[in-house]
Amino acid sequence: MDWMGAPAVVNNKVYLFGGYVSGTASNMALEYDPATDSWNTKAYMPSARYAPATAVYNNKIYVMGGNYGNKNNEMYDPETNTWRPRPNFLSATTDGVAGEINGKLLLIHLPTNGCYSPTSDSWISIGGLNTPRHNLTGEVVNEKLFVLGGGYLFNNFDLVDIYTPSDLQSASFQTKSDAVYKIEVDDSYMSDFFLQETHR
């Protein structure tokens, strides 16, 4: 069984990286084409890992972190089916969430949150969640990064943190926890949530 892989979408194709297979971390890379309803194996990741985070910039996929103790940041180019290592993340991370805003890649997780610039090929540290946690999910909507759910020390949270990086080094998250943002529900509700937020 394969699980804890990280998805990304480029040019209407879905990519899946890494995962936990037969009790070990995987370096697989798969491509799903909805037009043909078919899967293809792509060039393997340089480093095997599960639970990484992904973000897309200029049709390149950045696979960051994963496992416990992983700092790797590797860029995949779907057009050439090749990998290129990039500067490692600031600290080891797993089960984080990433997103691209204005050409910057945000990676959110305990204990460090960072922003990677593909143009300068460097990381900076950014403000953290109001309630630090891992096992996150999230998405970028209207140039805002929504960080949903998560847990820490056997506590689960129904929080949604919203990050608008007008100033990446000083910006902080706004936390929402009312029923409108509650996410202890299925994926169909999450899709509705993003649809509603997009049209506000």
What CA–CA distance (Å, rounded) separates 9 from 55? 9
What digits encode the pLDDT tens for the residues 53-107?
999 999 999 999 888 678 999 999 999 999 999 999 988 777 788 999 989 999 9
pLDDT at 176 over 80: no
Q: What is the pLDDT of residue 181?
A: 42
Highest mean pLDDT among 42-51, 67-76, 123-132: 42-51
For residues 177 and 4, the model is more confident at 4
Q: What is the tens place of the pLDDT at every residue in 21-45?
A: 888 899 999 999 999 999 999 999 9
Q: CATH code at 104? A: 2.120.10.80
- The Cα-based distances of 80 to 32, 60, 75 in angstroms read 16, 10, 12
Q: Confidence band (pLDDT; 50, 70, 90) for 170? A: low
Mean pLDDT of the chain: 81
Q: What's the average model confidence in pLDDT over 105-131?
A: 86
Residues 24, 50: Cα–Cα separation, whole Å: 9
Q: Which of 175, 167, 200 is nearest to 101 (CA)?
A: 167
Calculate the CA 175 to chain-centre distance.
19
Total domains in the fold of the chain:
1
Report residue 189: phi and psi, to 5°. Answer: -70, -40
Q: Is there a contact between 20 and 2 (Cβ–Cβ < 8 Å)?
A: yes
The span from the CA of 195 to the CA of 188, in Å, is 11
Cα–Cα distance between 167 and 24 in angstroms, integer?
Answer: 40
Range of the domain at 13: 2-198
163: its two tokens: 């990050």
Q: How many CB atoms lie within 10 A of CB 115?
A: 21
